[in-house]
Amino acid sequence: MKEMSKEQESVKEVQRQVEANLRAFQEECDKLRDETSQIIRQSAHTRIRLALMFNILKAREQGDLAQAAQLTRSLR
């Protein structure tokens, strides 16, 4: 009877450890998901800014200073 009780306690302890590891793994996944979302947002913002800069250069090359000024204001 004592052997069975010790074995059951051992099984419960292993289950607790597995649950703790699973929670830690889930927290890490959530953190990585959040970081990935932030990187995606930053990347999109950077692409928009680069497109604006390219259009500013293009407008300046074409001598369209009004358009270049407007795009520059948009960039800020």
Does the structure show a pLDDT above 90 at 76? no
37: left (phi over 0), alpha (psi -120 to 50) or beta: alpha
The pLDDT assigned to 1 comes to 63
Q: d(Cα 56, Cα 64) in Å, to the nearest integer?
A: 9
Contacts of 59 (CB under 8 A, 6+ apart): 65, 67, 68, 71
- Tens of pLDDT, residue by residue over 4-47, are 788 888 889 999 999 999 999 999 999 999 999 999 999 999 99
pTM score of the predicted model: 0.68
d(CA 65, CA 72): 10
Average pLDDT over residues 55-68: 97
